[in-house]
Structure 1
Amino acid sequence: MDHWDELRMFLAVAEGGTVRAAADALDVNHATIIRGIGRLEDRLETKLFDKPSTGYRLTDAGADVVDLARQMSTASSQLEARIFGRDQSVSGPLRLTLPISFATDLLMPTLAAFRAAYPEIALEIIGSGAVANLGNREADVALRVVVGGKSPPDNLYGTRLGAFHTGYYVHRSLLADGKPASAAAWLLGADETVPTTWQPGGELRMSSTPIRFAEMRSQFEAARAGMGITHLPCFLGDADPDLVRVPAGPITHVGDIWLLTHADTRQTKRVRLLCDHIRSAMRGLAGRLAGQGQGGGGAVGVG
C-alpha cells in the first residue's frame, strides 16, 4: 500500500498531538516523522496540520484524512491478526500484557520457564496498568483484573482464572506491644482516599496527614520501611515477611482475573503455549490471589 508508512506517521501525530509523541509511539526519531508528514502533504497536495507552538493541530483536510487513516489502520491490524492466527511455529514475536505486580511478583518464574522451554519465541513482557487493544495487535495475550463481574468483549476469547483480593498491610514492628513512637501514615495512591468505614485495630495510632505515591511499588516499599498502612494485592502483602495485615482491616474482592486473546489469533501455536503455561501457574496461585496467605481461607471476605 503506497504511503502507508506516511499515513501511520500522520495518524500518530494526529492522535498524540506532537511530533515527539508520535516518534515515541512508533519508535522512530522526530526527523523521520517530519519528513513523512511532508511527503504525505506533497502527495495529497494539501496541508494536513497547522503548527502552533503548542503542538500540531489538524486542518479541515487533515480531519477528513484522519477518519480514513483510522479505517486503514484497523484493516491492517485485522489482516495481521488473521495471518498471525494461522502461524503454527514455535518461533517469532509474542507480546504479553499484564499488571506490573503480576509480572514482577507473581509470574516471572513461570515466564522464565516458558522462555527456557521455547527459546526461539521472542517474548515481549508489557507490564502496564493500561488496557492494551488486542484487536490492533498491541498485545497477543492479556492478563487483566476485570471488576464488576463483567465478561470480556465479544471479539476476545477469555478464560476466568480466579478471584483477585486486596487488603491493608503494615510493618509488623508497628504492631509490637506498646504504641509506636510516632503515628503511622496512610500510604495512598494518587486517587485513593483514607478509609472511612473502618478503623485500624490493635495499638496503631494514625497520623492525620497521608502520604501519596504515583505507583504501587513505592507504596509497597514505604510500608516495608515502616512508614504506615497501605493497600496491596494479597498475593504481594502476604508474601512479605515484614508485613502483616492490619487488625480489623477488610479483605476485598476487587474483581476476577481473566486471560484474554483475540478471536483471530488465539489458535496461533505460541499463543496457545503461553496461555497453557499461565493457566497452569495460576491454578497453583489461586490461594495467594484469594488472600489465603495469612489467616487461611476463613479470613477472606467480599468487601
Structure 2
Amino acid sequence: MALDWDEFRFAKAVADRGGLTAAAADLGINHSTAFRRLAALEAKLNTRLFERLRTGYVPTPAGQAMIAAAARIEADVARFTRVVAGQGETPSGELRVTAPAGFAAELLMPMLASFTERYPDIRIELILAEATLNLSRRDADVAIRISREPSETLVGRRLAVTAWGVYGRADRAYGDLAREAWISPGPLVAGGSFMRFVEARVPPDHIRLRLNAVIGLEAAVQAGLGIGPLPCFTADVNPALQRLSGPHPELGADLWILTHPDLRHAARVRVFMEHIAEALLPLRPRFEGR
C-alpha cells in the first residue's frame, strides 16, 4: 500500500485541529475537499482513522499510529532542512528572525539596517511575536528572546540583563504610589510575575488597566492611565516618562540570542548573531537601567 507524505500530513492536521473545518483552513482547502480526502484515505486503508464525536474528531488506534508516524516524518524533514541550511559557507540567502515587538520597534531596526548594509546577500524575514516560536521546526532560524530560562535544546549567548522599574508621567508629581492608579500586565505575561508585583503593592481596585502583552504598557502610562512597570531600556529614554522606583530584580530577565544547534555554523546565522551581539554591547547599561 503506497502512502505519500501529504496523506500523513492531512491526518495530523485533522488531529491537531480537532476537526475538518479548522484542518481545511490550515491546509488551504475547503471543507468538502477535506471530507472527501478523509473518506478516500480511510477507504484506502480499509480502517477508520477518526471517531466523529459531537466534541470533535478523535483518533482511533489506527489514527493515533498514523499521527505518530506523521510527527516522526515531520521531525525528520525539519532536521534535514536544518542540516542543509547549515552547510552554506557564504553569508547569503533567507534568514528568519523572531523578536519581541517592543524590542524590534525601539532597538532592532538600526541593527538590521547596518547588518543588511554589511551583508547585502542576506534577506531577512522578521517575525514580531511575544509567543515563543519553535526553532526545531524552523519557524525561525534565530530568536531574540527575553527569558529567565531559555530552552535547553537551543544554543546562543546572553546579551544583557533587562531591568524593569515603575514609571509615571514626567509632568506629574507623585506621592504615595500605593494611592495611585496602576497599569499591569495580565497573568499570562511572564508567568504572572508582573501581576504579582503590582498586586503586592496596591489593592485590586487601584489597577485601572490590565494588558495581555508587554507592548502597549508604555503608551498606557504615557497617556496617563496610571503608573506601572516598564522596561528601563525604553522608558528611561522617553522624555514623557519618569522613573518612580527600581530597577526591581524580581522583574528582570535576560536578553538572549539563540539558534538551533544544527544551524549554529551556518554562515548567515553565525554572522547575524555576531553582529547583533556587537551592536548591543554599548547598549548594555541602558538595558540594565544604569
TM bucket (normalised to shorter chain) is 0.7 to 0.9
Structure 1 distance, partners of 2:181, 2:56, is 41
Q: Which residue of 2 aligns with 1:105?
A: 106
Q: CA deviation at 1:268?
A: 1.0
1:19/1:33 contact within 8 Å kept? yes
Aligned residue among 164, 175, 187 for 2:183:
187
How much does 1:198 deviate?
5.3
Give distance in 1, aligned partners of 2:215 and 2:227.
14
In structure 2, C-alpha distance between the alignment counterparts of 1:110 and 1:174, rounded to whole Å: 34
Q: Cα gap change, 1:140/1:37 in structure 2, threshold over 3 Å: closer, same or farther?
A: farther
* Displacement of 1:44: 2.6
Q: How many residues align?
A: 278
Considering fraction of residues, name the structure with more helix.
2
Give the alignment's TM-score, normalised by structure 1: 0.79
Distance (Å, rounded) in 1 between the aligned partners of 2:231 and 2:157: 21
1:261 corresponds in structure 2 to 259
Distance 1:290 1:122, change over 3 A: same
One-letter amino acid of the structure 2 residue matched with residue 185 of structure 1:
A
- The DSSP-based 3-state class of the residue aligned with 1:139 is coil
* 1:17–1:115 distance in 2 versus 1, CA, 3 Å: farther
Q: Corresponding residue for 1:289?
A: 287
Q: Tell me how far apart the structure 2 counterparts of residues 196 and 277 of structure 1 sit (CA, whole Å).
A: 40
Amino acid at match of 1:157: V
The answer for the alignment partner of 2:243 in structure 1 is 245
Residue 275 of structure 1 and its aligned partner are, at CA, apart by 1.0
Stretch moving more, 3-12 or 277-286: 3-12
Hey, what's the Cα distance between the residues in 2 that align with 1:222 and 1:72?
46
Letter in 2 for 1:173: D
Percent identity of the aligned residues?
A: 35
Evaluate the alpha carbon distance shift between residue 158 and residue 20 of structure 1 in structure 2; reply closer, same or farther with a 3 A threshold.
farther
1:33: how far off? 5.2
* Aligned 1:26-37 pairs, distance under 5 A: 28-31=28-31, 37=38
**C-alpha separation in 2, matches of 1:86 and 1:39:** 40
Check the 8 A contact 1:198/1:249 in 2, yes or no.
Answer: no
Distance 1:48-1:263 versus aligned 2 partners, 3 A rule: same
Match of 2:269 among 260, 268, 271: 271
Residue 2 of structure 1 deviates from its aligned partner by 5.1
Unpaired stretches in structure 2, ≥5 consecutive residues = 188-194
Cα offset, 1:290, TM superposition: 0.6
Question: How do residues 117-196 of structure 1 correspond to structure 2 at under 5 angstroms?
Answer: 117-147=118-148, 150=149, 152-153=151-152, 155-175=153-173, 184-191=180-187, 192-193=195-196, 195=198
Q: CA–CA distance in 1 between the matches of 2:123 and 2:19?
A: 31
TM-score norm. by structure 2 comes to 0.83
Instruction: Determine the structure 2 residue equivalent to 1:48.
Output: 49
- Give the CA deviation at 1:45: 3.0
Q: Which position in structure 2 is the counterpart of 1:61?
A: 62
> In structure 2, do the counterparts of structure 1 residues 131 and 151 end up closer, same or farther at CA, with 3 Å as the change threshold?
closer
Does the aligned pair in 1 maintain the 2:101–2:215 contact within 8 Å?
no
Map Cα deviations across residues 220-258 of structure 1 (whole Å, 9 max, x no partner): 211111111121111121121101111x44433622222
| CA contact 2:8–2:69 (8 Å) conserved in 1 | no
Report the RMSD for the aligned CA atoms in angstroms: 2.9
**Aligned-partner SS, 2:163:** strand
Once residues 169 and 24 of structure 1 are traced to their aligned partners in structure 2, the CA distance between those partners, rounded to angstroms, is 44
Q: Residues 235 and 291 of structure 1 are in contact (CA less than 8 Å); yes or no, is this contact kept in structure 2?
A: yes
Distance apart, 1:196 and its partner CA: 5.6
- Give 1:271 shift: 0.8
- What's the CA shift string for 1:10-40, capped at 9, x where partnerless? 22332232445445655x3445655654554
